[in-house]
Amino acid sequence: MEELARESISLLARSASHADPPRLGSFGAVFIMLKSALGAGLLNFPWAFQKAGGVTTAVSVELVSLVFLISGLVVLGYASSVSRQKTYQDVVREVCGRAVGKLCEVCFCFNLFMISVAFLVVVQDQLEKCISLYETVTGSSEAGMPYHWYTDQRFALFVMCLVIILPLSIPKEIGIQKYTRAALTCVQPDSQCKCLREFIVSLCVSVLGTLAATYLCVAVIVKYYLMDSHAVITPDHSQVSSWASMFSVVPTICFGFQCHEACIAIYSSMENQKISHWAVISVLSMLFCLLIYTLTVYGFLTFGEDVASDILMSYPGNDVVMIVSRLLFGISIITIYPIILLLGSVILNLMLRVRRHYRGIVTHSFENRCRVVLTVAWITFTLVIAMFVPDMSDVISIIGGISAFFIFIFPAILTAWGVITIVVGAFIFGQGTTLAVMEVFRKF
């Protein structure tokens, strides 16, 4: 999903900085852009349609947002060509100065942290639904299943983090990176994977998140047409007329379409770096994302006002089709979480710089200790937050607010279009975070 693509992005940027010429073709660029955008945000879109007050309003907000999303991508590509930098943070630092560059790094790290929380919330939701597997096997009802502390989904999430995620995250070079690197080379022309096994594993790792998103989209549509009856959609005209309700879905859109941190490295690694060509790539990528995200409207049409903030939670736990979807998302998240942590190594680099400044040298053992402590702390804090977050939509509102920096505010500095986009971005950031905080306090 998003962070697996960003690992590919970092590898692209690393290769682009070497003497070898960029080799990424148009198909590979669109593919990686889709990998970067499609993911867990898809689960929240049916709820966003309900929150906006209906299909027409939500699609209208999507289309308006698409103008800013595409223009931001084009501006970032232009900024990369002018500054000759290969990553988002480097472009911001070069164009806007060190202070804004530091702010960009902080936003990037906090964004990764909140995405980690969102992923664990998704996993916890699916573990909660696993209780229905007991019903399928035994024929008992959920009420007839005895409750034990070790059957609680929060305990299961803790065990999963301890037994699976932590061991994958501790090593400095996680094994999945090798396959991600191979997956990256497989979408570039004139390149070959070393062996068939590496190609197969890398391909699976690379497309798993996109496959999970596409499968869910198709499953939601099929389920809608197979159901005997559907929810009656009665538009709430007072809600539709409310600007706050309409724009409350923008953070979800920002989270779902967020690929702007990745786009500079993708652009820098392309064969054809003409801005006009990059504009076409940006438009195609966003239109594909728009199509897939908009098709989730069938989830809203199926459940109406009762749709959950995580669409998978609206379906019964013993639904085999949705069990497959839960497995796909769960496996994707478990394999991607360590990569998120790896990309958050900016904190470790800061600690090492401080140590080098005062001591003059950084030993290998000190670096290992710092990495272990930061990894354990990162997993612990995200786990605790995920356990007590009332709703997935609250986390996505915060992430969408942070995404406004990457989509609107930072790209806006180079253009006359910047005044409008900065105002829009600041509004989305403030609204997203405020709504999330208010919703958390209300539910508690």
- What is the residue-level pLDDT of the chain in tens, covering all 444 positions? 444 444 444 444 444 444 454 567 888 888 888 877 877 788 888 888 888 877 888 888 888 888 888 988 988 888 888 888 888 888 888 888 888 888 888 888 888 888 888 888 888 888 877 765 665 566 555 555 666 666 778 888 899 889 888 888 887 655 544 444 444 444 443 444 444 444 444 455 556 777 888 888 899 999 898 887 666 555 555 544 466 667 778 888 888 888 888 888 888 888 888 889 999 999 999 999 899 899 988 988 888 888 888 888 888 877 888 888 888 888 878 877 877 777 666 777 777 777 777 777 777 787 788 888 888 999 999 999 988 876 777 788 888 878 877 887 777 765 644 445 545 555 555 555 555 545 544 555
On whether the CB atoms of residues 133 and 318 are closer than 8 A, the answer is yes
Give the pLDDT score at 380: 92
Give the pLDDT score at 172: 65
Q: Is 317 exposed, middle or buried (0-12, 13-18, 19+ CB in 10 A)?
A: buried
On whether the CB atoms of residues 397 and 436 are closer than 8 A, the answer is yes
Q: How crowded is the C-beta side of 193, counted as CA atoms within 13 Å? A: 19
The sign one gets for the Cα dihedral 41, 42, 44, 46 is: positive
Length of the chain: 444
Cβ neighbours of residue 251 closer than 8 Å, sequence gap 6 or more: 396, 397, 398, 399, 400, 401, 403, 404, 428, 431, 432, 435
On whether the CB atoms of residues 101 and 92 are closer than 8 A, the answer is yes
Q: What angle do CA 383, 386, 392 make, to 5 degrees?
A: 155
Cβ neighbours of residue 125 closer than 8 Å, sequence gap 6 or more: 310, 312, 313, 392
Give the pLDDT score at 171: 75
Q: What global pTM score does this model have?
A: 0.78
Give the pLDDT score at 134: 61
Inter-CA distances, 269 with 18, 176, 205, 210, Å: 11, 22, 21, 21
φ/ψ of residue 24, rounded to 5: -80, 125
Give the pLDDT score at 220: 92
Q: What is the dihedral of CA 298, 300, 303, 308, to 10 degrees?
A: 130
The sign one gets for the Cα dihedral 44, 50, 53, 55 is: positive
- Nearest residue to 51 via CA among 440, 441, 432: 432
Q: How crowded is the C-beta side of 265, counted as CA atoms within 13 Å? A: 24
Gap between the Cα atoms of 27 and 266, Å rounded: 12
On whether the CB atoms of residues 184 and 409 are closer than 8 A, the answer is no
| Helices of type H across 296-363 | 297-303, 320-343, 346-359
Give the pLDDT score at 183: 46
The two three-digit tokens of residue 1, written as one number: 């999903």
User: Amino acid identity, residue 327?
Assistant: L
The sign one gets for the Cα dihedral 414, 415, 419, 425 is: negative
Cβ neighbours of residue 27 closer than 8 Å, sequence gap 6 or more: 187
Gap between the Cα atoms of 259 and 403, Å rounded: 9
Domains and CATH numbers, the chain: 32-140+147-171+189-443 (1.20.1740)
What DSSP element (H or E) covers 54?
Answer: none
